Amino acid sequence: MNTFPFKIGIVGCAGRMGRMLVSEVLATPECRLSGGTEPVGPLVGTDIGLLVGPKSLGVQVSADAAALFAASDAVIDFTVPAATLHHAALAAKTGKIFVAGTTGLSADMVASLQKNAATAPIVFAPNFSVGVNVLFALTEKLAATLGPDYDIDVLEMHHRHKLDAPSGTALGLGEAAARGRNVKLTDVWRKSRDGHVGARPAGEIGFATLRGGDVVGDHTVIFAADGERVELTHKASSRSGFARGAVRAALWARGRGPGFYSMRDVLGI
């Protein structure tokens, strides 16, 4: 199915990430913006073009997510967990492509997304940056190659407004390291250290979280052994990379059947 233009809708279109997604859809020749939603409030009825630039598009912000799914080939969601679960249910009902980049979802919430993927193509990732997804693959490979003599820590920093910690990307990096070691992350993680915590146990995967300023997203995976340290780092200076990856994922899912997909599937890594 290669019909153009490919119609993409954005939920949460007035937020920081939502506006970036709108701009990316508008900049992608084979795509057309089918609409955008926000909760009931003063932004509903605003021309979406005026959210990202000086030109009107003739497409207004709506509060009707069901109508957005009906008008779209794919819907992209970088909002909050409760809203994402609602939108995933709409995707399952309509069979439309759903690309979800929301972080802070519990294991039960992810399982709910997987259920909805029985009747719709759902692409879910903690981070849609192509560079970060290469970092996931490298982290898994290094964890498997370096072995248990190397302690692993994930250090992340984000802007002061970020709601969840550790970030979804940091947890994704922890999951990648755990896969490389063939262990379950929740059996070996330490999300914070405070006070007299004692010596570090063997095999622990640690997390350190920083918040401040307008940092879009910095992540470093540290492999530390006696006598040497290996560090893998990704720094995002703009949300545009996340938006590019999400639109790429939506286009990749075009014509595919129902299923629960990741950026590893999209990128073939």
Residue positions annotated with a catalytic role:
158, 162
> Is the CB of residue 120 less than 8 Å from the CB of residue 92?
yes
Enter the tokens of residue 242. 């996340």
Q: Are strands 6-11 and 31-37 parallel, antiparallel or unpaired?
A: parallel
3-class SS of residue 220: strand
Give the Cα separation of 77 and 17 in Å (integer): 9
Kindly report each contact of residues 57-60 with a partner whose C-beta sits within 8 Å and lies 24 or more positions away, as own/partner.
Answer: 57/26, 57/33, 59/33, 59/34, 59/35, 60/35
3-class SS of residue 213: coil
Sheet of strand 97-100, all strands in order from the earlier edge strand to the far edge: 61-62, 31-37, 6-11, 74-77, 97-100, 121-124, 259-261
Give the Cα separation of 4 and 32 in Å (integer): 9
Give the Cα separation of 214 and 159 in Å (integer): 4
- Of 144, 141, 172, 138, the C-alpha closest to 156 is 172
